[in-house]
A and B are shown apart, each in its own frame.
Chain A
């Protein structure tokens, strides 16, 4: 590592100013808790340039001096074996201009794992930057019968050592005192040896000098693990936890989402009533308010998911769950921790993709992100319900079960299997970019999570979703609205076409039939014709990009033109409008099967595309995801159509 001594403030895109302090430490060393204690809820999340590693920094003050605190990703070593770890090296390297070099380093050492932590400290000291040691979990060390003499440790290291435990204001005050005088931080004349027997001897001598007695076994953790990691019981508890997790996302979030939708529906109706049922009223009521509502509707799920994930992580259960699931996930090239992300995607891919932040390896994060949208999300459900009920009569049975339910279940299974298989593919592709990383995962003692850390994680997830994704979703919703409603039609146009302008259903259908979206539907006709879709289905497919369930509404709108009293019946009776199959029934079983298969695979969701862009840090991945899922969708739809046609 370079030892240049210019404190580079240059190059950083950071809007904050002040002395820059970076927190360095291994995972689970209490970095995030300290970061939140220092910065409150003012932390900002960003991305390190070019990698999918979240970057946290926030403002703090020490005796009136403004500070910027940066929470570097947790690392066991400064000898990088992954892209994620390279981020830490780059952040410390004054020659890397993309990230501003810190003015001082706060190296966190978990005293319950002091032996291992000292190895990291020795590596950090090679950089010769001013540094100060923070000892965390001193309370836990004492409770488990361990001991360390801070004064002696300080002398042995030749560095300033400040013990800080969670919820202890004295430690934090001492840290702020120290932060105010970076210039006077002591430094040993020579950095300690890093490797080999000399390194081990240095660690031994420091531990001996500091009267270190390691912590005894954590009885509470041992007892809990005996149950929670029991080969049989542990598995059952794991499934119970995941079931509850999933139920909460669905059952608690659903009414909240319903209220948000109702509120914006009411607001939209109000706007339409004020502005009249003309174009302006429609625009404000449907497009603008509907679009904003369509963004906010994701918040309950995101907030709940992050609440639960950060609680489970803070308690220490997430790593246990990953331990239990690892064998299964390994078959698909993923590791245990990816399971939570994929499971959440059954509610909605957006929180699922955001939950990939808990995965330590960039390759796993990308593979999970690229496969999560294939899990059957709740927006696919109304589409599936509509199509399955058109395909199969309610009375049909498969053994003792209703055939509709069996098909619906099969669709979920197909989605999950496809997600796992694509994940396997993407990890395999990703393997070419670097050597396989060893799998290791610390199992921290069970701890009571810090409320502040949990709240910050929820708050940060919601805020970054609103900030970074709103414009993408809103812009697409508006564009789709314009496509579906333009060119504007006057009452005279409608009368000329034999449509009663006073009839809202008929006039809406007339506008839709003659909209730009209809032009697009006809233009993409050749692509979808082999699947049996006509231009009206194509309009539905195009409009479902805003959100999959919009397909149901659009098809209802199209069908309403033919029979306003009973759009469901009309949909079933719809006939192919033009082309060689004109006059035939449109929704034949092969076409419905093709549509079902299409919706299982297609990435028909701009919100997901927006989140993929946000979390992966580039447009490359969302575009690739859209392309490969569209291809899969088309092929699957074609196969489904061919097979159904052969069977029926």
Chain B
């Protein structure tokens, strides 16, 4: 879905920050740009400890069926997050 939005060059969707759950498998050039505002500070710190820091490149490796967890490659290792957690992480595409 996010891909479809990306194809239209009109940056309508850019107002709503893109989050990690909308990143397609294997999509390149995506980096972490922060957390959603409603993320509790300690959760944000923990995600940071796991490697989700601003500017870190992130790739979605795999998704479990039926909106199960997603496996992402961050800081050189693979970690599974639930969609709820992935939705807390704001990403941006490198230009």
Contacts and interface: CB of A to CB of B under 8 A. Distances in A.
Nearest to B77: A113
Nearest to B74: A116
A119 B49 contact: yes
Interface in A306-324: 319, 323-324
A442 B46 contact: no
B80 A319 contact: yes
Interface string A408-451: 00000000000000000000000000010011111110000000
B43 A323 contact: no
22 contacts: A76-B46, A79-B49, A81-B42, A113-B75, A113-B76, A116-B51, A116-B77, A214-B76, A215-B76, A225-B62, A229-B64, A229-B71, A326-B68, A327-B67, A327-B68, A327-B69, A330-B82, A438-B81, A441-B79, A442-B79, A442-B80, A443-B78
The 9 closest A-B pairs by CB, nearest first: A327-B68, A77-B49, A443-B78, A439-B82, A441-B80, A113-B77, A231-B65, A214-B76, A115-B75
A345 interface: no
A118 B49 CA distance: 10
Contacts of B50: 76, 116, 440
Contacts of B43: 81, 438
A120 interface: yes
A253 B76 CA distance: 41
B81 A439 contact: yes
Contacts of A215: 76
Interface string B44-63: 01111111010100000010
Contacts of A225: 62
Interface in A43-66: none
Contact of B69 (A77, A120, A195, A439): A439
Interface string B72-95: 000111111110110010000000
Nearest to B85: A438
A319 B55 CA distance: 28
Contacts, number: 95
A112 interface: yes
Q: Point out which of A113, A114, A214 has the most chain B C-beta atoms below 10 A from its C-beta.
A: A113
B58 to A, nearest CB: 13
Contacts of A323: 64, 68-69, 71, 80
Nearest to A216: B76
A499 interface: no
Interface string A207-229: 00000001100000000010001
Contacts of A114: 76
Contacts of B53: 200
Contacts of B81: 438-440
Given A116-B50, A116-B51, A324-B64, A79 B77 contact: no
A435 B75 contact: no
Contacts of B85: 438-440
| Interface size of B as a range | 20 to 34
Contacts of B16: none
Nearest to A110: B77
A627 to B, nearest CB: 33
A231 B67 CA distance: 12
A319 B69 CA distance: 12
Contact of A116 (B40, B65, B71, B75): B75
| Interface size of A as a range | 20 to 34
Interface in B23-40: 40
A277 B10 CA distance: 93
Q: Point out which of B48, B71, B75, B80 has the most chain A C-beta atoms below 10 A from its C-beta.
A: B80
Nearest to A120: B49
Nearest to A335: B82
Contacts of B62: 225, 229
A321 B94 CA distance: 34
Interface string A325-338: 01100100000100
Contacts of A442: 77-80
Contact of B66 (A81, A195, A327): A327
Contacts of A76: 46, 49-50
Interface string A23-47: 0000000000000000000000000
B64 A326 contact: yes
Contacts of B45: 77, 79, 195
Contacts of B78: 442-443
A215 B79 CA distance: 16
A438 B67 contact: no
B69 A326 contact: yes
A435 B41 CA distance: 12
Given A112-B77, A116-B77, A119-B48, 5 more contacts: A116-B76, A119-B49, A323-B71, A439-B81, A444-B77
B49 A116 contact: yes
Nearest to A231: B65
A115 B77 CA distance: 10
A405 B66 CA distance: 33
Nearest to A79: B45
A330 B67 CA distance: 11
Contacts of B76: 112-116, 214-215
Contact of B79 (A324, A327, A435, A443): A443
A323 B45 CA distance: 24
B40 to A, nearest CB: 7
B91 to A, nearest CB: 16
Q: Point out which of A76, A319, A444 has the most chain B C-beta atoms below 10 A from its C-beta.
A: A76
A225 B79 CA distance: 13
Nearest to A221: B78
Given A115-B51, A326-B69, A440-B81, A79 B46 contact: yes
B46 A81 contact: yes
B51 A440 contact: no
Nearest to B76: A214
A214 B76 CA distance: 7
Nearest to B66: A327
A323 B76 CA distance: 19
A327 B67 CA distance: 7
